[in-house]
Amino acid sequence: MSNLSITPGTNNVGAYINSIELKNLEQKQVNEIKDILSQFGVIFIKKQSLDPEAYQNFAKSIGTPVIYPRLKGLDKKFPFINVIERKPEDKNLSFGSSWLHQDTSYLANDRPRYTMLMGIEIPNGQGNTIFSSGFNAYKKLPDEVKHKIKNATGIFSSAGPIAVTRLEREKEMGIKSSDSMEAEHPIVKMVNGKKTLYVSPGHLMEIKNVDKKDAVYLKKYLIDHVNKKEFIFSYEWSKGDICLWDNLSILHMASEIKNCRRVMHRITMK
């Protein structure tokens, strides 16, 4: 059991790790952080304000940082740190907003496991990140539904409903994306000995390996289910905060941001 002090998030979604300085970590603490992440799916660490070097080093202690194909790196020295910027004049939806999703669920193998954000410039009262726990959502499914989806797979596509915000952002940043990507994954996954729902509503196109008559109903049912208030935590950012989550067990989305500037540094890891 961890010696670090933790406080569960609202609705038992994730955990705050209290009284820790990420720039001065011992290996024992790194291992404890990994255990908490694996148990809760997402961790919140307040007011760290790491410089790029310390931030990238922390990422390397958790996993292997990867170049994210749809976003530009900070600079040559820190290619793994992506700047996610929202400008006051932006009128479109914020990146990844309006659809809960699990990052890069449309990649077959080798998809990144963890996503980490640090708050660089935070607007007052706006820009929360919404998290939903796949652990809690699976646990609360009726037994009948659990039985129906035990071997189910989902077809996930980068051209799913969330694509509209991606295409807008790519146009803005002058990035030309490749053709749409598609992958098939089990809907129920095992993480740390617990079952979790992997449905990524922003990317899910159809459900397979279930009775044909149930496929459409189950897709709608599961998407509605992970969106229920009882599985959701809306995280309010402060400057320097770090959120780190496991895309297998946690769904997330950005909330709406209007007429203000918000800057985040993001690292994706395997």
pLDDT single digits (tens) 94-110: 555 578 999 989 999 88
Percent of the chain residues past pLDDT 90, beyond the cut: 72
As a three-state string, the secondary structure of 65-92 is EECCCCCCECCCCCCCCEEEEECCCCCC
User: Among residues 269, 270, 266, which one has the least CA distance to residue 52?
Assistant: 266
Q: Which tens digits make up the pLDDT trace of 163-173? A: 765 555 555 55
pTM for this predicted structure: 0.90
Both tokens of 25, joined, read 């970590």
How many CB atoms within 10 Å of residue 222?
24
Contact yes or no for 114/41 (Cβ under 8 A): no
Amino acid at position 45, single letter: I
Q: Which tens digits make up the pLDDT trace of 213-256? A: 999 999 999 999 999 999 999 999 999 999 999 999 999 998 88
Architecture of domain 6-269 in this structure: 4-Layer Sandwich (3.60)
Task: Give whole-number Cα distances, 211 to 113, 138, 139, 155, 214, in Å.
Answer: 30, 20, 22, 16, 5
Give every CB contact of residue 84 below 8 A, 6+ residues apart in sequence.
71, 95, 117, 263, 264, 265, 266
Q: Which residue has the tokens 């189910």?
A: 152
Beta bridge partners of 130: 234, 253
Strand (E) or helix (H) holding 2: none
Q: What is the pLDDT of residue 85?
A: 86
Which residue positions in the chain have pLDDT lower than 70?
1-2, 69-70, 91-97, 164-179
